[in-house]
Structure 1
């Protein structure tokens, strides 16, 4: 029994350490009526992402004011729409990102007179941490050790994918640097050629001028 507890504790420590590699964005921000607040998240292709938001009640124990409503839209860098809710106080969304890039969650508060300011709690998760492991355990009726093994496998797989993603980004940056250096070299050569040509023309013009004036 003691050995099993130690193994479970070891798995929990490893999973916790590995999960620190993945991005979690849980923020609280103020939104003034008539204004828009956008938050972006860089998501890999085919990665799972989950978002949850709600407006904080300024008067705890009382109904939320009617003015405290927002319109929420989540779009990709290509303009595709993945979530839209109009005049809501809370909501959730989840989807597998079909394309890689920056995804944008925008919150818009309708204009009110007098102007009001509301506080929004927003939680956005991507990758392994976006999965609901509690439901996995309930649906599968598996033991704790099997759940930890599955979490660990998915975490390692995600780290593996992340490494390849970073390697691809590094190769793109190296290609961009080489291309930029090549263009700068050609630009420098062209600038030098122009300067030498202008200097030659100036010398020729001065020589012609002095010859006409019979100074040389």
Structure 2
């Protein structure tokens, strides 16, 4: 039984070490268009991004038309990175504000339109750390390095749980406020309907009295 539990724990730890908190994608962008990608990043979390235009003619220089403008902003609009008229770039920062951080790509309008393929890799938290550099700099052994990864992964999961709990509390508060506003609106709607109905009855009664039908 002990061996079974130990094996289960090792499997769980192995899965945790494989967690990759980030996005790696390839997409196309037409000239004159804009594409934005958002990532929910916790406060004090490290994030690293890398973008590259894929050369449509491998072995030849990249065409002059294949240039990008890239901007990374915080939830409150603060700039973390700006690449103007570039074909590749990287960014790295520690988030001061928690929430959706946005990376926007756009190109100048061209005639005829040109489609650009972009490779974009965005990692956050544990996945953003360069473990090879940490191992080289600290001269740590493989086991110790794996333990460091595990510790950071557990810490990241723990922080994410607190973050989700805070978001849940915010949503519950929003629901309570919305329900309160809806109840108030329903009450006033009922008052208005009853008032209109009363006015209609009074108007009809007055009309029939004038016509001497009542």
Tell me the TM-score normalized by structure 2: 0.88
Distance apart, 1:111 and its partner CA: 3.4
Measure, in 1, the Cα distance between the counterparts of 2:72 and 2:120.
13
Aligned-residue offset at 1:24:
1.9
Q: Quick check: 1:12–1:148 contact (8 Å CA) kept in 2?
A: no
- For 1:11 and 1:71, the matched residues in 2 are separated by 47
The farther-off stretch of 43-52 and 27-36 is 27-36
Matched ranges for 1:1-216 at <5 A:
14-19=12-17, 23-216=21-214
| Equivalenced residues, count | 208
Q: Offset of 1:182 from its aligned partner?
A: 1.5
Q: 1:168 to 1:55 in 2, by over 3 A?
A: same
**What is the distance in 2 between the residues matched to 1:65 and 1:214?**
91
- State how far apart, in whole Å, the 2-side matches of 1:103 and 1:207 are: 64
Instruction: Output the TM-score relative to the length of structure 1.
Output: 0.87
Give the unaligned 5+ runs of structure 2.
Answer: 1-6
- Give 1:135 deviation, angstroms: 0.5
Runs of 4 or more consecutive aligned structure 1 residues displaced over 6 Å after TM superposition = 9-12
Given that 2:17 and 2:149 are in contact with CA atoms closer than 8 Å, whether structure 1 keeps it comes out as no
SS in 1 for 2:75: coil
Q: Distance in 2 between matches of 1:122 and 1:104?
A: 13
How far apart are 1:87 and its partner, in Å? 2.0
Structure 1, unaligned stretches of length 5 or more?
Answer: 1-8
